[in-house]
Structure 1
Amino acid sequence: MVLSLPVIAYGQTAEVYAYGDARVLKLFREGIPSALAEDEYRICECVHEAGIATPEAVARIEIEGRQGIVFQRIAGRSMLQAIMHGALSADEAGAQMAALHAGVHRLDAPAIPSQRGILAGRIREAPLLTEQEKRAIAERMARLPEDAKLCHGDFHPDNVLVSDSRAWIIDWMTGTSGHPAADAARTMLLLRFGSMPPETPADVVALINRMRQRLLDAYTGHYLRQSGLNRADIEEWFVPLAAARLVEWLPDEEKRELVRFVRDSLA
């Protein structure tokens, strides 16, 4: 069945297929536990019912042993594509991202994984850091405040869809219950250090790098105003979030930049 469906997008954990005229199928790759798909489905239900702009999760299905979620189909393109094609300026995109993210962070989280627990596990497994550095980072995180708000876990321009009338948040697989400042810190780190996929044309990479700081500044300024947090609230999460990101598949240069950032911050 899967082979007969038109592919819309590929990702590291899933493929997205056209599923009729008004639906898409997010089909997770083999080996992705059903619990992760179920978590994403429940989070999407919660977020959609709360009025947050996210495609409606219509059904949970299994195809050829792989877990899947059927979603409402949104006619649009990613915010990253809109920026690259000049449909959105960095300032406009940053403002839209901040409004969406702050809206998410006003919601109490459903019964989903703990942000702090996930970060602690990733820090323990982080490559390139010494055990002494990991202990120092864990101790630093232990002093940071607790909260149980809805957090996206991977909020960046490629996880926002832009249509003619609004922007929509997608890809809730990494959703957690935690502190908004930590979630915003990850977004700021992604905007600062995040690398483009290896197949991205060189001229597009150059364009994004030129706009990166403007996008970061716009997002940060608007988010601080809308969330009520101050910059220090967010920056104190930078080191734990940067260390935790080292367990992900990243280009070597980005990993080196993150390690330098962590070590400079600990010094």
Structure 2
Amino acid sequence: MHTGQPLGSGRTADVYAIDKSWVLRRYRDGTDATPELAVMAYLAASGFPVPRIGPPADPSMPVCDLVLQRLAGPTMAEALTAGTLGGPEAAETLARLLRELHTIPPRLSNDPYDRIIHLDLHPENVMLTPHGPVVIDWCNASEGPPELDRAMSCLILAQATLAPSLPAASAVRGLLVELAGRLDEDGGIPAEALARARALRAAGPCRTAEELTALDEAVELVAAVGRTAADHPRR
């Protein structure tokens, strides 16, 4: 498929413009995007804010390609950095998105407790469009207990606060504290879920040595913040 100008790159995929309405998301290693497409279609049918899926693909289109709605607006991370979005408002939005996602029954699992879980829901994966926040990048999505998703979101934020190259680390820590307080209302972050999130994070592809080194410290930070949230509930 013809692609236009590059719009962005992540750790595993690149995004290209197709036209004013659509973009092409392509995995560099040829990862099959079909499972991701199925999850997004299911979530869209359930009313959860995901990018619209593009026109029917050309039969010759590689399985590593996804045609998705071209979204207008900054990421939540960009808005936080620019100062157009405050930490409490961002935390409230993240908590609400997780809560809404976890009301959606699984597609495949027979466990009644399981839900669709994103496993990478953080400010860089939330687009703030004129019509509201939209969650992107569903390549890690799975089905499982909601507390695992809550733990993973907090663990990712905690790792970011420990990154020496991040100039806004203190602001991210504030966001983590705010988010933990809101998630405590939904059941918080049990130790077992945090341990499982750590194992998944450590086993993920493209982890830097810096991230792996700080992982245990990040786990301790999430646990400490979680205890603080439990001891001082929001009023």
- The alignment's TM-score, normalised by the length of structure 1, stands at 0.73
Q: 1:153 to 1:63 in 2, by over 3 A?
A: farther
- The answer as to whether partners of 1:6 and 1:18 remain within 8 angstroms in 2 is yes
Instruction: State the alpha-carbon separation in 1 of the partners of residues 60 and 124 from structure 2.
Output: 26
The 5 A counterparts of 1:137-152 are 147-152=113-118
Q: 1:92 to 1:30 in 2, by over 3 A?
A: same
- The answer as to whether partners of 2:158 and 2:218 remain within 8 angstroms in 1 is no
The residue matched to 2:203 in structure 1 has which SS?
coil
1:218 maps onto 2:175 in alignment: no
- The answer as to whether partners of 2:24 and 2:68 remain within 8 angstroms in 1 is yes
What is residue 231 of structure 2 aligned with on the other side? Answer: none
RMSD: 2.9
Identity of aligned residues (%): 25
Q: 1:38 to 1:111 in 2, by over 3 A?
A: farther
Q: After TM superposition, give the deviation of residue 182 of structure 1 in Å.
A: 0.5
What is residue 118 of structure 1 aligned with on the other side? Answer: none
What is residue 135 of structure 1 aligned with on the other side? Answer: none
The 5 A counterparts of 1:31-180 are 31-32=30-31, 34=32, 37-58=33-54, 59-60=56-57, 65=62, 67-111=64-108, 147-180=113-146
What is residue 16 of structure 2 aligned with on the other side? Answer: 17
Amino acid at match of 1:255: L
1:251 maps onto 2:208 in alignment: yes
Q: 1:70 to 1:261 in 2, by over 3 A?
A: closer
What is residue 121 of structure 1 aligned with on the other side? Answer: none
Q: After TM superposition, give the deviation of residue 111 of structure 1 in Å.
A: 2.8
Report Cα offsets for 1:29-58 as digits up to 9, x if no partner.
Answer: 2331x2xx1111011111111111111112
Q: After TM superposition, give the deviation of residue 234 of structure 1 in Å.
A: 3.1
- The answer as to whether partners of 2:114 and 2:143 remain within 8 angstroms in 1 is yes
The residue matched to 1:236 in structure 2 has which SS?
helix
**Structure 2, unaligned runs of 5 or more:** 224-235
- The alignment's TM-score, normalised by the length of structure 2, stands at 0.82
The residue matched to 1:216 in structure 2 has which SS?
helix
Instruction: State the alpha-carbon separation in 2 of the partners of residues 215 and 149 from structure 1.
Output: 25
What is residue 228 of structure 2 aligned with on the other side? Answer: none
Q: 1:62 to 1:184 in 2, by over 3 A?
A: farther
Moved more, 56-65 or 85-94: 56-65
**Structure 1, unaligned runs of 5 or more:** 115-144
Q: 1:27 to 1:49 in 2, by over 3 A?
A: same
- The answer as to whether partners of 2:160 and 2:172 remain within 8 angstroms in 1 is no
Instruction: State the alpha-carbon separation in 2 of the partners of residues 48 and 83 from structure 1.
Output: 27
Moved more, 244-253 or 82-91: 244-253
Moved more, 95-104 or 237-246: 237-246
Structure ranking higher in helix proportion: 1
Q: After TM superposition, give the deviation of residue 75 of structure 1 in Å.
A: 0.6
Q: After TM superposition, give the deviation of residue 222 of structure 1 in Å.
A: 2.2
Q: After TM superposition, give the deviation of residue 245 of structure 1 in Å.
A: 1.4
The residue matched to 1:237 in structure 2 has which SS?
helix
1:206 maps onto 2:167 in alignment: yes
Q: After TM superposition, give the deviation of residue 174 of structure 1 in Å.
A: 0.9
- The answer as to whether partners of 1:243 and 1:262 remain within 8 angstroms in 2 is no
- By relative contact order (CA 8 Å, sep 6+), the higher-ranking structure is 1
Q: After TM superposition, give the deviation of residue 106 of structure 1 in Å.
A: 0.7
What is residue 226 of structure 2 aligned with on the other side? Answer: none
- The answer as to whether partners of 2:88 and 2:178 remain within 8 angstroms in 1 is yes
What is residue 152 of structure 2 aligned with on the other side? Answer: 186
Amino acid at match of 1:250: R
